[in-house]
Structure 1
Amino acid sequence: MPPFEAASLLVDTYFDRAHWFMLIFQQDDFRQRWPKLYPRHSGRPGDYTNAAFLSTFLVVIAIGIHYVGPHRQSLLVRHGVDSSLKDRILSCVRAKLLDVMSLGSLEAAQTCVLLGTYYLYHGSPRLAWPVCGCGLRIAQALHLHRRLRPSESPDFRQQYETRKRCWWAIYEIETFSAVVYGYPHSIWNADCDVEPLDPSAKLQAMQSPRTPSEPRARKTTLLSYKCLMSELSVVTNEALGELYRTKTFPGEQGKPSRPRRDLQDTLQAVAKYNSHLQQWQAKLPLELQWDRISDQANYSTPEEIDSDIGATGPRFESHIYQLQAMALMLAYENAMILTHRPLLSYKLRSSTEPEALPASSDRADQPRPNPFVSSIEACRTAALRMASIQSSPVLKLVAETYAVTFVSIHTFTAGVTLGILCSMDPLNQQSSASKLALQNVMEIQETLKSRSVVAEQGLDILQRLTKLVMQRELDVLLGKAKRTTTQSGSPSRSSSQGLSDELQGLSGDVASQVPTSGGLATLNRGASSALPGPDDIFYINDPAMTDALLDFDQALLSYAPQPLGEHEETAENPILWPPTLDGFPILEQTWLWDLDNDPFFNADLGN
């Protein structure tokens, strides 16, 4: 272990740079416990009996080493500590991880989550997921996912909140891994009855909410972020299971819950989760609303933060709210793209007039509800909003925190979305704004790449995708490629509830069964004589989306590393350094746009 003074600095750095994002344990409790590991400063023999807490402490200071700035680095050098200590600590913890896990304690679960998230946010998702999975199994064995009966013990409230923090941190990481990398979600919501986190846990008079929908305490605290992120993770988990069939637990009949969904069900599910997400956003307190604080920064430079060791007080608290608001906004907009992605591959067409109602219709001047166009605009709006953080002074500050890869991952999703939408129709009115936003996303990745390997790889792929988008635009301008247009003019989420209403209106208007034949799904509009008959309206594959996905696939193929020859060896030993096996984690982040996941690409059209 490092000298006490160096350890104190690294613990402060962890709480300055990472704790606001993880909140896996209570700061006061950790600060009281860790000095007992140093006998000279605790006045008693070193407490090494709790090996699990020792491992948690070691991962904490390893994370602290990773995020020290120049000023703190110079202080560490004075104490005889250099950056190589981080690698030695991580190697030691990895070597003893099975022993730690065998303890089956709360601290063992915390160690797995901290170590797993370190790998997750530093380019090794394949290593991170099983490590976090071990933490999940320990947590379930400890019944962290179950509600505890109230006890008269004076420590009950604090112990219960600590258990809940660990559980919801695990839940959030499971959901994040499923969203970003397409990994199966291993938590069944119906098996969990643990209460939501209490943002005012330190106020003994306050009562913890019993369900996520129950109003929480009005006062915003630093824990409010974790409560909101946990609620968003629950909604996202449910959307993943229903829209992407990622659930692996048994269904009602004892079979995997992975039914093939028809388009009618998908329309209704997208409308439902779009509404759930909007309801979640409406609950954000003022301090965590990104649009309110995006142009503010309580510190002018990362160096200023680096000098503010163990920061406290209103200024630092406001700074943390700004970072948390950015993270919440990015997670929300990413969830919006995730929700609407299944509809992007479809197109609503009429056999008589492809894009409008018949002229004889009494409603010919009113656009037909089109959920597919609405979903395109929902994804575009989400991506534009994520790209807008490029102009915020908070961006350069978040680059020095544990959330840097979280930000780069979500903005990479925004960049891919913008590139694909531009490629679908490079000459439409929205493409100009989308291309400017794509440039902003690449600037974001450029800003973050010195701190995140994911940002460096994402920048490379986005540059390749942009070249293909511009080439497609040039081909269309020169007449070398046929232009495939997409209808525009859908209402934006920021101005009204029109998107949700439009989706609900159409999905509720069609028949309960949407028969398919020859790849076309016939839409039954019911009794409305103003609309074309059921034989005139079709849901069909949108060829523009297929072409755009092929462009993106080409960008990935040109980036993907070539397999090694029989006699070639990697420069690093994969046994000693597992990240070698995860050298290109960015490729796994693109599962959402994989042609294999496209509903038409592998569709069985014979049914």
Structure 2
Amino acid sequence: MEILYVLLEEYFDAIHWFSLAIYEPKFRQMLHSISDGFAHHSQKPFLLLLAVMLGMASWYRAQRSGVDLADHSDEWWVWSTDLLKLVESNIVEIMDKPSITAVQTCILLGSHHVYHGRPNLSFSLLGATVKMSQSLGLHRQTSRGPLEDIEERKRIWWTIYTWDRFASITYGRPLGINDEDCDVIMPADVLENPSFVTPTSDQGNLILYSSYQRELNRLYLIASPALKAIFGSRTLGTSNQLTGDTYYELAKNATQDLQRWYRLLPSHLSLDLEQDFHADGSLKSRAYALQSLSLQLTYDNVLIILHRPLLNRQVDILSTDNERAALGDGNSINHSGSAAFSVASSELWSNAAVRTSRVTELPVLAQLATESHLVAFLAINLFNAAVVLAVMALSEPLSDTAQDIKRTITRILRLQDLLGKRSALSKQCATILKNVVILLLRRESETIFAPLFSTSQRTQAQTQQTPAEISLMSVEDTLRLPLDFTLNSPSFVGYQTWPDLSRSHRLNESLISVQHGNYLDSWERTPCVLTLLMWLFFPVLGPGNDGQSSIPTEGPERRGFSEQGMQPHSNYQLPAEYDSSMYGGSQDGVHDSHMENIDGGLYWLWDTTWNGIDRE
């Protein structure tokens, strides 16, 4: 029992604050009933719940640094593996006999595997858990029964609800729970005792974990209508619904509500990005610091997801404008007010990524996060932020902002490399980011060495003449140009106005180039990066409005490639480290069905062959 109590404290310190599947007052009562070492047969579900809690705690115990734990690391790994296998061997029996305890067990097992084991199993467990909870009526508010039972039911339901929203974003799949089908009110504030080795009733040692869950619930409730539109079954395979005024209004209202929610966060759940965590030995302060970080990451990630379709819309608008300008069409195009909001989206999008990346400037808090259940969640969000930052840097490759971004991506990459020993997601993220950095550096060199041409001969430059056939610009014109200007700049036709363009407009111009691939001088030498960027930031493009894949397959003049006119292979092979079996398809090329199943999520990133044991 002494070891059991130690592991339970590890569980509350590393996991419980993040996933409140357990209602501590009632759990402690059930634990006390088996403290003599005996349990009734009817208590088997609780023993399995206890086993998954101890298995998860052992996993994090093995990760802890310290001389006193180093000699026992292998033992903790064995405990974790054996306990989780014990639960998995009974999973069918658990599902066959739905109960509150069975639902809690599935929640925790799924939570572990989504980050550290088998994400396919986790996604399936989510579906089973939703159905089990609905069979128990957890999606309906009830006033019958003891207060503790009512609060436990509410807490469990909202944990499943937020898991479903997270899974929709991460896997790129439709929501599993409709808001219209449930009427459960928010859980009440309950003080909980995380101490088991030396339990105490001192109010100073109790922690209010539940306020975090309530704020997380509210965040996802606000975002749900937009998430339903983005990942819903009726919008998959077409971008029409995501680029129209209806989605614009939906995203605009959700953004305003999210910003209001963010401003009204309780002080202990509001992350101060200007000040690192100061350890005072208090479990409460550490839990609140990690909860505030989790809310910040979730908020910024949701903003990026909500505004991704609007950025695609802005790309379409700018592409049309540039094509008209290239053809000498002087007719102005009147866009609706939603277009202006689409431009503003790039600022919201980029600011969210910058805030997420600033976690790398808080080393103490980042250390705490990597020792908790937040480790893989942090890796996912840092990865997203790094790619967004890379797109920002592509829009201004020689700017001071781009140099700051490279330094930030360096910190993120180093952290991902380190976390790769603990999380398969981090290892995969680090591999992708290295290729993104190569893409960025290539764009820098292209800008530095690119030739410049005179204003009077812009038309000639667009008629596929070689640089040698076009005269150089004057010294005055050359020195007046911004450093980032080249012949291949998206705004080449109107380059004289380039310095007057807003940062948002330039960022969107960069997105056009990323979409068309004209920052790649070799399709083979930068494996999967173009595909990665397109599916992360233009998920509604494939298939496009016409039902055809929007991955460029036409000539260089259509694709926006540089004058070398590199032709992508129609059967372009994904690199070996990206196992196509996770998509349910074969590695036949980017146009194959497995790419259509990505749906803008990160499901493709997981290496399903990783078993959670190899830590090298």
TM-score, length basis structure 2: 0.68
2:136 maps to 1:139? no
Partner-residue secondary structure (3-state), 1:442 = helix
Does the 8 A contact of 2:172 with 2:601 survive in 1?
A: no
Deviations 1:335-363 (A, max 9, x none): 11011111222244568997xxxxxx9xx
Deviations 1:54-92 (A, max 9, x none): 1111000000100112559749959x9542122122222
Distance 1:70 1:589, change over 3 A: farther
Which residue does the alignment assign to 1:236? 223
2:29 maps to 1:32? yes
2:210 maps to 1:264? no
2:386 maps to 1:412? no
Answer 1 or 2: which has greater helix percent.
2
Which residue does the alignment assign to 2:265? 284
Matching residue within 173, 178, 191 for 2:168: 178
Report which stretch shifted further, 556-565 or 63-72.
556-565
Does the 8 A contact of 2:7 with 2:54 survive in 1?
A: yes
Map residues 178-257 of structure 1 onto 2, 5 A cutoff: 178-200=168-190, 221-246=208-233
What is the CA distance between 1:476 and its match in structure 2? 2.3
Deviations 1:487-533 (A, max 9, x none): 43459xxxxxxxxxxxxxxxxxxxxxxxxxxxxxxxxxxxxxxxxxx
2:304 maps to 1:337? yes
Distance 1:441 1:236, change over 3 A: farther
Matching residue within 152, 173, 188 for 1:162: 152
Report which stretch shifted further, 435-444 or 105-114.
435-444
Which residue does the alignment assign to 1:124? 118
Partner-residue secondary structure (3-state), 2:17 = helix
Deviations 1:388-428 (A, max 9, x none): 01111200111111111111111111112112332344345
Aligned length: 471
Question: In the aligned structure 2, how far is the partner of 1:588 from the partner of 1:34?
Answer: 48
Which residue does the alignment assign to 2:409? 438
Which residue does the alignment assign to 1:64? 57
Matching residue within 472, 481, 484 for 2:443: 472
What is the CA distance between 1:29 and its match in structure 2? 2.2
Partner-residue secondary structure (3-state), 1:336 = helix
Question: In the aligned structure 2, how far is the partner of 1:162 from the partner of 1:76?
Answer: 38
2:56 maps to 1:50? no
Question: In the aligned structure 2, how far is the partner of 1:142 from the partner of 1:549?
Answer: 54
Question: In the aligned structure 2, how far is the partner of 1:64 from the partner of 1:562?
Answer: 30
Identity among equivalent pairs (%): 25
Which residue does the alignment assign to 2:203? none
Counterpart code for 1:228: E
2:386 maps to 1:378? no
Q: Which sections of structure 1, spanning at least 5 residues, go unmatched?
A: 203-218, 250-255, 300-304, 306-314, 355-360, 362-366, 492-538, 566-586, 597-607
Q: Which sections of structure 2, spanning at least 5 residues, go unmatched?
A: 193-205, 326-331, 452-486, 492-497, 521-525, 533-572, 582-594, 605-616
What is the CA distance between 1:121 and its match in structure 2? 1.1
Question: In the aligned structure 1, how far is the partner of 2:235 from the partner of 2:91?
Answer: 27
Which residue does the alignment assign to 1:103? 97
Counterpart code for 1:165: R
Question: In the aligned structure 1, how far is the partner of 2:403 from the partner of 2:213?
Answer: 37
Question: In the aligned structure 2, how far is the partner of 1:425 from the partner of 1:484?
Answer: 12
TM-score, length basis structure 1: 0.69
2:548 maps to 1:561? no
Question: In the aligned structure 2, how far is the partner of 1:458 from the partner of 1:542?
Answer: 21
Counterpart code for 2:577: P
Deviations 1:142-178 (A, max 9, x none): 1111111x34x5xx22111100111111111111111
Which residue does the alignment assign to 2:5? 8
Map residues 330-369 of structure 1 onto 2, 5 A cutoff: 330-345=297-312, 346-347=314-315, 348-349=317-318
C-alpha RMSD of the superposition? 4.0
Distance 1:77 1:343, change over 3 A: closer
Which residue does the alignment assign to 1:547? 516
Map residues 371-520 of structure 1 onto 2, 5 A cutoff: 371-392=341-362, 393-427=364-398, 430-479=401-450, 482-484=488-490, 487-489=501-503
Does the 8 A contact of 1:76 with 1:82 survive in 2?
A: no
Question: In the aligned structure 2, how far is the partner of 1:542 from the partner of 1:290?
Answer: 30
Deviations 1:447-486 (A, max 9, x none): 4333222112211111111111110221122117712359
Matching residue within 276, 281, 303 for 1:295: 276
Question: In the aligned structure 1, how far is the partner of 2:52 from the partner of 2:284?
Answer: 25
Partner-residue secondary structure (3-state), 2:42 = coil
Counterpart code for 2:515: T
Counterpart code for 1:25: I
